[in-house]
Amino acid sequence: MATFRLLLSLFIVNCITVIPAVNTEDPATALPAKSFQPFIPQDNYLFDCGSNSSTVLPGNRTFQPDNTTTEFLAYDGKDIQVSGGAEANANANVNASPIYRSAKVFATDATYTFPITAPGWHWIRLHFFALNATHYDLKTAKFTVETDKLVLLHQFELQNDTSVIMKEFLVNVTEERFPLKFKPKGTVAFVNAIEFVSAPNPLIGEYATLLFPVSQKFELSTHSFQTVYRLNVGGPEILTDQDSLQRIWHPDTPYLDPRQMGKNVAVSPAIISYPEVGGSPLIAPPLVYASALELADSKSVKPNFNITWRMDVNVHFWYLIRLHFCDIVSKSLNELYFNVYINDNIAISGLDLSALTRKLATAYYKDIVVNSTMVSSPLEIKISPVDDEAQGTRNAILNGVEVFKMNNSVGSLDGEFGVDGTRASDRTNGDRQTVAAVGFAMMFGSFVGLGAMAVKWRKRPQDWRRRSSFSSWLLPVHSGDATFTNPNRTPLGSRQSLFFSSTTEFGRYFSFSELQEATNNWETTKIIGIGGFGSVYLGLVDEKTKIAVKRGNPQSEQGFHEFQTEIQMLSKLRHRHLVSLIGYCDENNEMCLVYEYMSNGPLRDHLYGKNLPSLSWKQRLEICIGAARGLHYLHTGAAQGIIHRDVKSTNILLDEKFVAKMADFGLSKNASTAPEQNHVSTSVKGSFGYLDPEYFRKQQLTDKSDVYSFGVVLFEVLCARQAINPQLPRDQMNLAEWAMQWKRKGLLEKIIDPTLVGHINPESMRKFAEAAEKCLAEYGVDRPTMGDVLWNLEYALQLQEASAMGKTDEENKSFAAPNSPAVISPSTAPSNNPFSHLATE
Ligand SMILES: *[C@@H]1O[C@H](CO)[C@@H](O)[C@H](O)[C@H]1NC(C)=O
Ligand SMILES: *[C@@H]1O[C@H](CO)[C@@H](O)[C@H](O)[C@H]1NC(C)=O
Ligand SMILES: *[C@@H]1O[C@H](CO)[C@@H](O)[C@H](O)[C@H]1NC(C)=O
């Protein structure tokens, strides 16, 4: 086995790639809505206030009258019940819901108390409608509604609003008795109906993701929420009896701006399924997922095309935004791939529903917390296709969105005062200044997402390491027609569609003769790469599909079962930015691996040494972003904790559309395992010039070693020179050291690729170089995660694009003229140190 493993790890060079593979995962991981248990609330208090008899609403929900004689209501004042006659009936809304036909009016403080049988999340729904009462003008009522700890409504007024108003809250109740206090602040307080009902605890997950600092975890259980928007995107209104938790979902059209950007799509709700783990129709009913908005015209879309929803919010509060997605637009997996922005900050980068749900028409949601410094009104939610995507169709979807306001620091959901009168600290003012600064900067147009700059780069906990390790030496395997467990391993007829038909876990089985034919009997002119133990051939199968075939040493011995286990593991890795294996052959001591062909070869060839047309800065950024996504997926994605081990510009391959994919994963281990396993092997894998210095010191490989190597690649991309050039003087030989010297002097622009001069936005370059510098930190803990790097690169791209739109032409010009003599590149530099005159600090 050892021999074979070695063979394989050397085997993988540069070619190959991703086919829009059919997913081969266990189909039992997603279930239809009806296979989930319905929810029966343990606490279920429904009051039709001011009514003399009970009222039954659709869905068989009985609202009881709230007599002051019951244990639930404590009130010393006169019991005032009002009911609307003809006037109320004239109002269509009231007609629709009889609970609005009566109200309880309070002239002094009144308290409803609910005994709790099951602690946890509860809905509080308060219904108001200003009935025309003889002695009281409810339209001018003004009052506060509080619990023991929480202000729900502060000096609430209807302001002559004659429509029906429902306020919905979600609170985590821990007490045995839960009070709800109505406090008149003018003449009277009133309420038409109250719901106080248990909500399923999984409704609110333990954590959400912060919009900023990027993707940091945020604990939800201690917060209280008020629903401010709940939209069934692209679909009709969903009423209480169509939602198992009696929620109302409104159509999204009033918030869509401009409307023509999006197009409604809908499927039968019966086809929607939910992930068996962590999914449930209680999160949102199938009706929500069965409709969506997609890009109106995905073919003719311009760059930056997006669909935007705008919703007014109160900028003094934090918000929880729950986005619902379900791929009901794709014909097959891996077609859809898009970005989500909130207030112009990237909220979800490269959302790949296929990778997450592994099945079409499967529900997925994501919770994002936006803190008040990042909130502006209107709140903008955008979906936009990923530009660098060659594989999928350019599209983006959204199925539903919920926006919840979160209580502030003094426990209020309305206004700045807590129940005890304490005022939310001046921090709020500070927050607003930041927002003002952001707004100011945006006005001047340099870019989106400036808020980030005000805050220092944050380190994230290294908790990903909890995952167990495994070794892997290969590339992901995609679908195919044959399986290793088939004793005969007979290749299926190759007439069958090669890559799209599989239901098995492994790659397609190729017969040796098939590969022989595909490569013109291993013709030497077909060799596109040579590794230590074998060559890589360009081949053609099924008359049209280009493949890259690595043919191993025919003498090699290998344990078939171990090989199988490894491939199985690798089949779990599947990502657009990872080069992937599509099949294999082992026959008569011949061992071949088959990949799709990556026509533009390694990134390095496009940077230097090959005289290929120079890549634009935007292209370079997109390539780096793609590669970073691939690495981020290895580190944190489905399989978690995989370390590439050999990140370098020759292992970043480009397909015909210059989409970057990571190739040649190393023998990957995770640092959380026992100390003796911490170092992978005595044979150091990795390449000179890219190696993490800490890895040398500690013999310990972590994901941060990849981050270091990636930092070197970033400088390679910026400066267009080798990581190590032994021909240069000692102090210039090592790119990482050399670039860092110039970065520290603040003169990095002097050493950038001359072809970029005048075409690179200085802010974008600065952000990029900053990311590269962080990656090269001496100690792993000080380096960012790939997620952070990714975010910063996206940001650098946004800066570049903003400037490309002409806003910062002036800056471009003043930055460096195209033929500025101050620019020195290593290729033109004389070999004695030309920089000594600049080296004075
Ligand atoms: C409610 O809050 C308590 C105390 O903070 C916590 O222990 C509990 O887990 C929370 N419940 C839920 C369902 O989040
Ligand atoms: C969204 O589209 C608008 C108008 O087409 C454009 O100005 C804006 O830059 C786009 N935003 C993003 C984040 O792509
Ligand atoms: C909401 O209130 C809880 C205490 O009840 C507090 O811990 C939390 O920080 C508050 N939320 C915000 C966003 O300030």
Does any domain span residue 289?
A: yes
For atom 8 of ligand 2, which residue has the closest CA?
Answer: 304
Give yes or no for residue 424 CB within 6 A of ligand 3: no
Task: Pick the last residue of a domain from 139, 168, 199.
Answer: 199
Does any domain span residue 28?
A: no
Is residue 439 over pLDDT 60?
no
Which ligand 2 atom is nearest residue 344's CA? 13
pLDDT band of 670, cuts 50, 70, 90: very low
Residue count of the chain: 841
SS3 of 561, please? helix
Q: Are residues 514 and 469 in the same domain?
A: yes
For atom 9 of ligand 3, which residue has the closest CA?
Answer: 409
SS3 content of the chain, % helix, strand, coil (to 5): 25, 25, 45
Question: What is the whole-number distance in angstroms between the Cα of residue 165 and the centre of ligand 2?
Answer: 34
Is residue 28 over pLDDT 50?
no
Domain extent at residue 95: 44-199
Q: Within a 10 A sphere around the Cβ of 741, how many other Cβ atoms?
A: 17
152: its two tokens:
């729900």
Q: Are residues 668 and 756 in the same domain?
A: yes
How many angstroms from the chain centroid is the CA of residue 657? 24
Task: Measure the CA–CA gap between 558 and 12, rounded to whole angstroms.
Answer: 17
Task: Measure the CA–CA gap between 719 and 713, rounded to whole angstroms.
Answer: 10
58: its two tokens:
């659709």
Does any domain span residue 34?
A: no
Q: Are residues 612 and 553 in the same domain?
A: no
634: its two tokens:
């290895």
Lowest mean pLDDT among 489-503, 624-638, 689-703, 823-837: 489-503
For residue 543, is it left (φ>0), alpha (ψ between -120 and 50) or beta? left
Task: Pick the last residue of a domain from 596, 629, 648.
Answer: 596
SS3 of 822, please? coil
Q: Are residues 693 and 556 in the same domain?
A: no
- Per-residue model confidence (pLDDT) at position 300: 57
Question: What is the whole-number distance in angstroms between the Cα of residue 386 and the centre of ligand 2?
Answer: 13
Amino acid at 576: R
Give yes or no for residue 306 CB within 6 A of ligand 2: yes
Enter the DSSP assignment of 806. Answer: I
Q: In the beta sheet, which residues pair with residue 695?
A: none
Whether 646 sits among the annotated catalytic residues: the reply is yes
Which has more confidence, 530 or 80?
A: 80
| Cβ 741 vs Cβ 751: under 8 Å | no
Share of the chain above pLDDT 90, in %: 40
Enter the DSSP assignment of 505. Answer: S
Task: Measure the CA–CA gap between 446 and 469, rounded to whole angstroms.
Answer: 44
Give pLDDT tens digits for 70-107. 789 888 878 788 876 555 545 545 556 889 888 999 99
Question: What is the whole-number distance in angstroms between the Cα of residue 197 and the centre of ligand 1?
Answer: 16
Would you give the end-to-end CA distance of the chain in angstroms? 55
SS3 of 29, please? helix
Q: Are residues 55 and 121 in the same domain?
A: yes
From the CA atom positions of the chain, what is the Rg in Å?
31
Q: Which residue has the tokens 């198992």?
A: 244
- Per-residue model confidence (pLDDT) at position 837: 32
- Per-residue model confidence (pLDDT) at position 478: 28
Task: Measure the CA–CA gap between 248 and 63, rounded to whole angstroms.
Answer: 18
Mutate to test the pocket of ligand 1, among 174, 178, 206, 207 (most ligand atoms within 8 A of CB): 174
Task: Measure the CA–CA gap between 610 and 606, rounded to whole angstroms.
Answer: 7
Does any domain span residue 14?
A: no
Q: Show the DSSP H helices in 179-300 as ranges.
A: 286-289
What CATH number has the domain bearing residue 367? 2.60.120.430
Q: Are residues 107 and 147 in the same domain?
A: yes
Angle 422-426-429 from CA coordinates, rounded to 5°: 135
Which has more confidence, 825 or 806?
A: 806
Task: Measure the CA–CA gap between 125 and 122, rounded to whole angstroms.
Answer: 10
Share of the chain above pLDDT 70, in %: 72
Is residue 671 over pLDDT 70?
no
Task: Pick the last residue of a domain from 569, 596, 623.
Answer: 596
pLDDT band of 508, cuts 50, 70, 90: confident
Give yes or no for residue 223 CB within 6 A of ligand 3: yes
Q: Are residues 328 and 385 in the same domain?
A: yes
Is residue 681 over pLDDT 70?
no
pLDDT band of 420, cuts 50, 70, 90: confident
Does any domain span residue 505?
A: yes
Mutate to test the pocket of ligand 2, among 302, 304, 807 (most ligand atoms within 8 A of CB): 304
Which has more confidence, 197 or 93?
A: 197
Q: Is 125 exposed, middle or buried (0-12, 13-18, 19+ CB in 10 A)?
A: buried
- Per-residue model confidence (pLDDT) at position 356: 86
| Mean pLDDT (whole number) for 162-167 | 88
- Choose, from 66, 646, 692, 703, the residue flagged as catalytic: 646
In whole numbers, what is the pLDDT of the chain averaged over residues? 76
Q: Are residues 214 and 247 in the same domain?
A: yes
C-alpha closest to that of 713 among 621, 805, 637, 582: 621
Which has more confidence, 566 or 622?
A: 622
Give pLDDT tens digits for 629-656. 999 888 887 656 778 888 999 889 999 8
Q: Which residue has the tokens 């003018």?
A: 186
Helices 617-636, 762-775: inter-axial angle, 10-degree rounding? 30
Q: In the beta sheet, which residues pair with residue 132?
A: 137
Lowest mean pLDDT among 341-355, 493-507, 659-673: 493-507
Q: In the beta sheet, which residues pair with residue 370?
A: 319
| Mean pLDDT (whole number) for 595-615 | 89
Which ligand 3 atom is nearest residue 409's CA? 14
Give yes or no for residue 257 CB within 6 A of ligand 2: no
For atom 14 of ligand 2, which residue has the closest CA?
Answer: 304
- Per-residue model confidence (pLDDT) at position 639: 58
Does any domain span residue 39?
A: no
- Per-residue model confidence (pLDDT) at position 352: 87
Mutate to test the pocket of ligand 3, among 175, 317, 408, 417 (most ligand atoms within 8 A of CB): 408
219: its two tokens:
């604990």
Task: Measure the CA–CA gap between 685 and 467, rounded to whole angstroms.
Answer: 22
> Mean pLDDT highest for which of 509-518, 787-796, 825-834?
787-796
Q: For residue 38, is the peptide bond before it cis, meaning its omega torsion is within 30 degrees of 0? A: no
Q: Beta strand pairing status for 508-509 and 581-587?
A: parallel
Q: How many domains does the chain have?
A: 4
Give yes or no for residue 409 CB within 6 A of ligand 3: yes
Q: Within a 10 A sphere around the Cβ of 559, how many other Cβ atoms?
A: 14
| Cβ 802 vs Cβ 808: under 8 Å | yes
Q: Are residues 808 and 785 in the same domain?
A: yes
Q: Are residues 192 and 209 in the same domain?
A: no
Q: Are residues 156 and 267 in the same domain?
A: no
CA distances from 335 to 293, 721, 769 (A): 16, 36, 33
| φ/ψ of residue 241, rounded to 5 | -80, 0
How many angstroms from the chain centroid is the CA of residue 631? 15
Q: Are residues 191 and 233 in the same domain?
A: no
Give yes or no for residue 341 CB within 6 A of ligand 2: yes
Ligand number, closest to the Cα atom of 345: 2
Which ligand 2 atom is nearest residue 798's CA? 13
Q: Beta strand pairing status for 207-210 and 177-184?
A: unpaired
- Per-residue model confidence (pLDDT) at position 90: 54
